[in-house]
Amino acid sequence: MFEIAYSWFSRWLNASSQRDGAFSILFAILGICAWYAWVNRKSSKPIAPLPPGPRGLPIVGYLPFLGFDNLHHAFTDLAGAYGPIYKLWLGSKLTIVISSPSLVKEAVRDHDVAFSERDPSIAARVITFGANNIVFDSYSSPSWRNKRRILATDMLSNANLNAFYGLRREKVMKTVWDVYKNVGKPFDIGELAFLTTINATIGMMWGGKHRGREVAKIEGHFKDLSSQIMVLLARPNISDVFPSLARFDMQGIEREMKKILQSFNQLFDSVIELRDNAASEKEKVDGMSGQKSDFLQILLGLHNDSEDSATSFTMKHIKGILMDILVGGTDTTSTMTEWVMADLMQHPEKMEKVMKELCDVVGLNNTVEEFHLPSLSYLNAVIKESFRMHPPLPLLFPRCCGQSLTLGGYTIPKGSRVFLNMWSINMDPNIWDNPSKFQPERFLNDTDKFDFRGNDFRYLPFGAGRRMCPGLSLGEKMLALLLASLLHSFEWKLPQGTELELSSKFGLVVKKKIPLRLIPVPRLTNPKLYKE
Ligand code: HEM
């Protein structure tokens, strides 16, 4: 038996050279068949469908049905019919709207990179020097990373924010003094908050001194200019949804935005020129701001026109960042001040609790300081509740999907515009008890859980993920100091014959439709406390 096997094996070995060729061919054929079967198996795997959504008209899609009065409300109504993820065509743009915490989490945590792109409109590109700011620059652009790092770590570092506390306090106290001088007269709370915030912001950016008449003149128009920007940014533009028609600028949005840009450009050129012409280095650093190093000084110190896009930091980048801070940082904070005051006026029993807390923590013989703020737990809960009911950016800033992927079982194609409808989540009765009721107490027991830091996907007033707001700390500090000071220094009353209402006006930042006007009555025991 052994011999037979041996002889068979030796014959096989002798013939192996002929067999080698045959075996190679056989293996090649088997390999090709296996590969073919594998490829076929992959491609026959069902591709996830697009999300459901309403039918629109040919060419214009769902645009004519949206009614852009309060886009976040319209999107919420559609979620009722199509669920927490749906699509709609706005002209030629595929738009995806997401409105559940688990899907928001999938988008901004699990697929954070893919959803970190933006898709700026024409108006947004114009006003940001060609998307050279942070808000609208592409995530994949090396300059976005660089700019965001400069803003978050160089300009808004804790040390810098602490160094600017004196300035914030000075501007808030100036407002309190201005109000005190006019007690008995009604004040537009949104305007008051805007002026305070813009004065503090300008102080941090390039200081208040030696600005020149030209700069002061443009600064005087800031409120109008920034309101116009917010409205134009939110207005649907035919040029965006039909790019082939962009050159006609049929609604004149691009033209209007270019006019506003001119004012800002002139302002930035003037302050930069003034800084460049400052006689000495010492004057450059101290003269404009009275602070150790203002934002403009930091930015100009980093200016370079290098060819390398990863390290270059051009004048357009500098102006883009200044624009983000001026427009993005001030309108949000002042709008929120007005909403909180309106909510408290609507609920006198909550207002009373806030006033009592201020008496207990600060005392009527004292003015509010930043160190008091963490102890004002009821006021902090009120602020959180107002953020829930009136987030200034209810749809955050729209994202764009950077690569095709599957989310919630649906395909999201590359290039789709994605809205995260946080307002809809904030008002969802499955998530919040009695969501249309103003109830700050819901935030009292769980202070860590509902912070603003983007960790709880039910509550994201400052966004989440790589695109989350880098101005959170500054916004939070400014808002709390201003509110606490206004509420501690005065009792506020509605002018006789007026009624309070809480309807909103849509823009990129959602404001109160009818400005809140209130009459102050002094509360502090010593009139000297009102002096700046
Ligand atoms: C109450 C005040 C503020 C609120 C409610 C707010 C809210 C937001 C929100 C919701 C976003 C979008 C986040 C996302 O897409 O996930 C954002 C982005 C941004 N915010 Fe704020 N913000 C405030 C104050 C500020 C301040 C004071 C600054 C600057 C000093 C600032 C600068 C920015 C910038 C540059 C971005 C874009 C970030 C990026 O795209 O990488 N914000 N903010």
Residue 20, domain member (yes or no): no
Strands 417-420 and 399-400: antiparallel
Cα of 519 to ligand 1 centre, how many Å?
31
The answer to the question of residue 32 being in a domain is: no
pLDDT at 206: 84
Q: Kindly state whether residue 86 falls inside one of the protein's structural domains.
A: yes
- Structural domain span for residue 506: 63-531
Q: What is d(CA 336, CA 190) in angstroms, rounded to the nearest whole number?
A: 9
Question: What pTM value is reported for the model?
Answer: 0.88
In tens digits, what is the pLDDT along the chain, a chain of 532 residues?
434 444 444 444 444 445 555 556 655 666 665 655 555 555 556 689 999 999 999 989 998 888 767 899 999 999 999 999 999 999 889 999 999 999 999 999 999 999 999 999 999 999 999 999 999 999 999 899 999 999 999 999 999 999 999 999 999 999 999 999 999 999 999 999 999 999 899 889 987 655 566 666 666 777 778 888 988 888 889 899 888 899 999 999 999 999 999 988 988 898 888 888 775 555 555 444 444 578 999 999 999 888 777 778 999 999 999 999 998 889 999 999 999 999 999 999 999 999 999 999 999 999 999 999 999 999 999 999 999 999 999 999 999 999 999 999 999 999 999 999 999 999 999 999 999 999 999 999 776 678 898 999 999 999 999 999 999 999 999 999 999 999 999 999 999 999 999 999 888 889 999 999 999 999 999 999 998 6
Protein residue with least CA distance to atom 1, ligand 1: 333
CA distance 354 to 486: 12
* Neighbouring residues of 450: CB distance < 8 A, sequence distance ≥ 6: 384, 443, 456, 458, 459
Query: What spacing in Å lies between the alpha carbon of 144 and ligand 1's midpoint?
Result: 14
pLDDT at res. 470: 97
- State both tokens at 289: 């701001």
Pick from 176, 196, 192, 188: nearest CA to 516 = 188
Predicted confidence at residue 371, as pLDDT, reads: 97
Query: Buried (b) or exposed (e) across 167-203, using 16+ Cβ within 10 A?
Result: bbbebbbebbeebbeeeeeebebbebbbbbbbbbbbb
Is the CB–ligand 1 distance for residue 333 below 6 Å?
yes
- The residue whose CA has the least distance to atom 18 of ligand 1 is 469
| 468 in a structural domain | yes
* C-beta of 336 in contact with ligand 1 (< 6 A): yes
Q: Which three-class secondary structure state does DSSP give residue 467?
A: helix
Is residue 427, in this structure, part of any structural domain at all?
yes
Atom of ligand 1 nearest to the CA of 387: 5
417-420 and 93-98: which strand pairing?
parallel
Q: Does residue 58 belong to any structural domain of this protein?
A: no
- Is 6 among the domain residues? no
Question: Do the Cβ atoms of 63 and 91 come closer than 8 Å?
Answer: yes
Q: What DSSP assignment string belongs to 292-358? A: SS-HHHHHHHH-B--S-TTT-B-HHHHHHHHHIIIIIIHHHHHHHHHHHHHHHHH-HHHHHHHHHHH
**Cα distance from N-terminal residue to C-terminal residue, the chain:** 113
| Residue 339 included in any domain | yes
Q: Give the Å distance between the CA of 480 and the centre of ligand 1.
A: 17
Q: Which atom of ligand 1 is nearest to the CA of 330?
A: 27
CATH code of 207's domain: 1.10.630.10
Q: How many domains does the chain have?
A: 1
Q: H-helix or E-strand containing 262?
A: helix 253-277
Structure-token pair, residue 365: 């013989």
